Structure 1
Amino acid sequence: MYYINGEWLESEKKLEVTNPVTLEVIDTISTCGAEETKTAIAAATEAFKTWKKTTGNERSEYLFKTVKLMRERADELAQIITLENGKPLPDAKNEVRSAISYLDWYAEEAKRIYGEVLPASHRDKSLMVVKQPVGVCGAITPWNFPLSMITRKIAPALAAGCTVVLKPANQTPLSAIKVFECFHDAGVPKGVVNLVIGPSQDIGKELTSSPDVRKLTFTGSTRVGKMLVRDSADTMKKVSMELGGHAPYIIFEDADIDLAVEGVMLSKFKNTGQTCISTNRVYAHKSIAKEFAEKLAKRTAELKIGDGLEEGTDVGPLINESALQTMKNQVEDAVKKNAEVVAGGRVYNYDKGSGYFFEPTVLLNATDDMVIATEETFGPIAPVFTFETEEEIIERANSTLYGLAAYCYTKNLGRGLRMMRELEFGIIGINDPTPIVIQAPFGGIKESGMGKEGGKFGLEEYLEEKFVSIYEN
């Protein structure tokens, strides 16, 4: 089932959605392709002619109506996330709250799009800058946060006066359908939001090649992001890319070790490590590495693995067989290069399902020549490296093509400020494993992407400046 120009549509092409815990089919939905995507773009283009003229207050009201409906349906939305994604239900409920918060925030921001009056360089001229919506936006969202990634893109787009054609991940389309039901029931005008579900290559090609799509926003792998940027170049679209990461987690000798351990538990094992800002490389100062690793291994072994719908589950399944194989390969490579497995390290045979489970894992004696030191893990493996000096760890932490998130634990204020300046990442958490908030910019540097999401910074991505000079004669 897909949604174009205010209508739910069916086709003979079908997609089976499976539960990653049991591998059972939980739903079968209709999909579409290139032609339907063209129709969706045309609908969004036509709707933009009217939507861009609405006031901020009018756009705000539609977003607030959607917020109300999502709050009423929050439990159902969380259940759907867990069924198709596998994350524990409490985490799914947190994601629903996050998704609603983005709509709520941008409902307010819709009323605060300001231009500027510039000082004139001539007595008989008035100069101003007007901000206007970019136009039709193509949005492609991932499976790891199937609800909040949608609203994080659609909310600022609609607040700015843009219209949207969205393609969700094929692994998790049900969450997208549910949120679009809320848009529909909130009375969002026809063509303003459109949902296309189907082959990524066919739909992506239409979004990148169409001259009517003036912006493309994508969250996913760096490899795919580069392809989309290249394919968008011919029409010179505005693009924002939130791509891969390889976050260092640095623990200095003066850090609160217990606090650092709990931080890793949050940053590494939430969502089974399937988060772009998840810790990938844990660097513990040589003098405290043994104590830290022992405490981390003990806490990791306490995690409960299983079905996200079962009470008390901490870690759910990986999304597919490929992700499971990556975990196996990374651990095998590390062990061959003398890493020591002190927690987990194996495929987990869950007695209530045949899904893609891997034990939360801690590796000691990790070295920079291991695959896990450079390849994004996107799973529940925490390799522990050691270091001795501040200068050394800055160089090693920055020795990656990625630049999304980094974490640093220290009680030394000066050192914390130096790390803030020297670490080449778009998001820095100092003694903070969860630095993401709605009002702040989210995004990376280097090959972790371009553009920002969140706060006023995310709204700017959907606006363009028009300079006006008036000669007063």
Structure 2
Amino acid sequence: MTFRKRHEFFINGDWVQAAEAPTIEMLNPATEQSIGSIAAGDENVVNAAVAAAKEALPQFSSTSVAERKELLQSILSVYRKRRDEIAHAIMQELGAPRHLAYGSQTAAGESHLDGFLQALGTYKFEETLMNGDLVVREPIGVCGLITPWNWPINQIALKVLPALAAGCTMVLKPSEFTPFNAMLYADILSEAGVPKGVFNLVNGEGPVAGAALSRHPDVAMMSFTGSVRAGAAVSKDAADGVKKVALELGGKSPNLVFADADVDDAVKRGVRQMFNNTGQSCNAPSRMLVEQSIYDRAKEVALKTAEQQEVGNPDDAGRHMGPLVNHIQFDRVQELIKTGMDEGATLLCGGLGKPEGINEGYYVKPTIFVDVRNDMRIAQEEIFGPVLCMIPFEDEQQAIAIANDTEFGLSAYVQTKDEEKAMRVARQLQAGMVHINGSGMAPGSPFGGYKKSGIGREGGTFGLEEFLEVKTITRPKETN
């Protein structure tokens, strides 16, 4: 495996070598072997990146919508050409299996571009209200963007692209666990013709580089995706500057399976969705709520589906599950599995330790707990691993009550053949997104949640608006 040293930052259109910066070694989570290292930026590096973005802002913010649309189309063209490079990086640094890395992980970089291009084509940056006042939407300014490791290009695209579309300049701090795909993305933007200083990238740790970015007085807005704890830290760091903060945080999404659903199909789909990306998705359907009359059948289907779930090398072909991203995540998932066992939940399959025959890498067993109570820690905390909790319910109202009994509110899933019931339940669920019978979101729809799942929305027109300020211009009204 190629060892890559990338001890540089992308500032003002060029790769700038790090001067005596500490380094962070990158490990392949499937082998625990080094694949390279990066430099960790500090406040001085962040200051240089913000200064470049601030200098580029006046000219870029005055570009026309047509010019910015043309720029996005250029990015799309270059991205398609270099998409496999991004996929390979994600496979190595995240441990995403080949089918996932070369599939939905990188496909998001294209689909979100399509969504923002559509938004730019119809969005009204200026409109006259019925009362005669003019409303103008203008770029908010220099933006700080902090992205996670679990869906890296997806989240980079959901922040960088609307910022560009709005006419903002920016500094991106990607996750220090998956930096290489972000650095490739910087090359893509440069090749596509993004002007110098408009996009800047600083690698580093959240409490250092991320905090310096959040506190910086010249940063007008922070957009962050990650844990609730880190999101709160970003908000606190940004508070003194009274800057706008957009947050996309965690989830503990309920999947309501009613007796009138296609039980086998619904349960099988729910289990597979939970194990996708090794459970490292904020919108994973981690709580499967099953109507009591079909609970035994659901457990049978869930067990059979889990037993068919293969675990293996990300580089191999097939639809198997890869490792967790690092030892921190491995230890956390193990600790929560033990907690579930100690709390009295029944272990249907999986459990502690690595899968049989696997001795290296941060692999975990696909795990399902049944007879879970919603007040258990495993039902309330985001585990962020392939661990499913199955909870029985008696009727529709109890299902809704259990579903909403969480501090999160990102996604929810409803399985029933009764369309009227599906919509009735969906309207009562406290979640930013509700998926009925396996439906998925189209590009351009708003992604985000209620409660501790975040503030604001990403994607399409809704994501574009996060990067805009609203100005009202009044003019003398004609009188009769």
Q: What band does the TM-score fall into relative to the shorter chain? A: over 0.9
Q: Does structure 1 residue 390 correspond to structure 2 residue 390?
A: no
Number of residue pairs aligned between Structure 1 and Structure 2: 467
SS of the equivalent of 1:147 reads: helix
Any idea what SS the aligned residue of 2:313 has? coil
1:412 aligned onto 2:422: no
AA of the residue aligned to 1:105: G
1:464 matched residue in structure 2: 469
More displaced stretch, 297-306 vs 317-326 = 317-326
CA positional deviation for 1:127: 2.1
- Where does residue 43 of structure 1 map in the other structure? 52
Q: Does 1:105 align with 2:115?
A: yes
Distance 1:339 1:97 in 2: 38
Give the structure 1 partner of residue 127 of structure 2. Answer: 116
Give me the whole-angstrom Cα distance separating, in 1, the residues matched to 2:325 and 2:70: 36
Q: Is the 8 A contact 2:99 2:319 kept in 1?
A: no
C-alpha displacement at 1:331, in angstroms?
2.4
What is the identity, as a one-letter code, of the residue corresponding to 2:369? L
**Structure 2 CA distance for aligned equivalents of residues 461 and 353 of structure 1:** 45
Whether the 8 Å CA contact 1:306–1:313 is kept in 2: the answer is no
Q: Does the alignment pair 1:244 with 2:250?
A: yes
* Partner in structure 1 of residue 292 of structure 2: 286
Question: Where does residue 123 of structure 1 map in the other structure?
Answer: none
| Distance in 1 (alpha carbons) for counterparts of 2:153 and 2:356 | 27
Q: Please give the alpha-carbon distance, in whole angstroms, between the structure 2 residues aligned to 1:351 and 1:73.
A: 36
- Residue 74 of structure 2: aligned partner: 65
| 1:6-33: CA deviation from partner (whole Å, max 9, x where unpaired) | 0101223222111001111111223321
- Cα deviation, 1:271-293, whole Å, max 9, x if unaligned, reads 00000000121111111011111
Measure how far apart 1:349 and its partner are.
4.7
Bigger Cα displacement from structure 2, 277-286 vs 111-120? 111-120
Output aligned runs, 1:19-418, within 5 Å. 19-93=28-102, 94-114=104-124, 115-120=126-131, 126-349=132-355, 354-418=360-424
Q: Deviations over 1:10-65 (max 9, x none)?
A: 22322211100111111122332110101111110111110011111111222211
Q: Distance in 2 between matches of 1:350 and 1:145?
A: 27
Work out the CA distance in 2 between the residues paired with 1:108 and 1:131: 18
Residue identity opposite 1:318 in structure 2: L
Percentage of matched positions with identical amino acids: 38
Structure 1 pair 172–271 and aligned structure 2 pair: CA distance change class (3 A): same
Tell me, in whole angstroms, the C-alpha distance in 2 between the residues paired with 1:368 and 1:188.
49
Structure 1 runs (4+) greater than 6 angstroms displaced: none
Q: How far apart in 1 are the matches of 2:340 and 2:308?
A: 23
Matched AA of 1:7? D
1:350/1:178 CA distance change after superposition, 3 Å: farther
What letter corresponds to residue 449 of structure 2 in structure 1?
Answer: G
Aligned-residue offset at 1:417: 1.7
What SS is found at the alignment partner of 2:230? helix
State TM-score, norm by structure 1: 0.95
Deviations along 1:205-234, one digit per CA (max 9) or x if unpaired, are: 222222211111000011111121122122
Name the structure 1 match of 2:459.
454
- The one-letter code of the counterpart of 1:107 is L
CA-CA distance at 1:328 after TM superposition? 2.1
In 2: Cα distance, 1:337 partner to 1:95 partner: 35
Distance across 2 between alignment mates of 1:157 and 1:53: 14
> How far is 1:108 from its partner?
4.2
The code of the aligned residue for 1:49 comes to: P
- The SS at the match of 2:388 is strand
- The letter for the 1-side match of 2:129 is L
C-alpha offsets along residues 381-422 of structure 1, whole Å, 9 cap, x if unaligned?
112111101111211111111111111111122221221111
Q: Secondary structure at the residue paired with 2:293? A: coil
Please report how far the alpha carbon of residue 178 of structure 1 lies from its aligned counterpart in structure 2 after TM superposition. Answer: 0.6
Displacement of 1:426:
0.7
For 2:272 and 2:166, the matched residues in 1 are separated by: 34
* Partner SS, residue 408 of structure 2: coil
Mind listing any 5+ residue stretches in structure 2 that lack a counterpart? Answer: 1-7
The residue type paired with residue 454 of structure 1 is G
* CA distance in structure 1 between the partners assigned to 2:227 and 2:375 by the alignment: 23
Alpha-carbon distance between aligned partners in 1 of 2:334 and 2:207, rounded to the nearest angstrom: 29
How far apart, CA to CA, are the structure 2 residues paired with 1:322 and 1:253?
39
The aligned amino acid for 1:83 is Q
AA aligned opposite 2:10 = Y
**How far, CA to CA, are the matches of 2:51 and 2:402 in structure 1?**
49
Shift in alpha-carbon separation, 1:266–1:303, aligned structure 2, 3 A: closer
How far off is 1:317 after superposition? 0.5
Give the partner amino acid of 1:34: E
Contact 1:60 1:108 in 2 (8 A): no
Check whether the contact 2:72–2:161 (CA below 8 A) recurs between aligned residues: yes
Q: CA deviation at 1:348?
A: 1.8
Secondary structure at the residue paired with 1:283? Answer: strand
Instruction: Rate the CA distance shift 1:266–1:455 in 2: closer, same or farther, 3 A.
Output: farther
2:14 to 4, 7, 12: 7
1:117 alignment partner AA: T
RMSD: 1.6
With normalisation by structure 2, the TM-score equals: 0.94
Shift of 1:75: 1.5
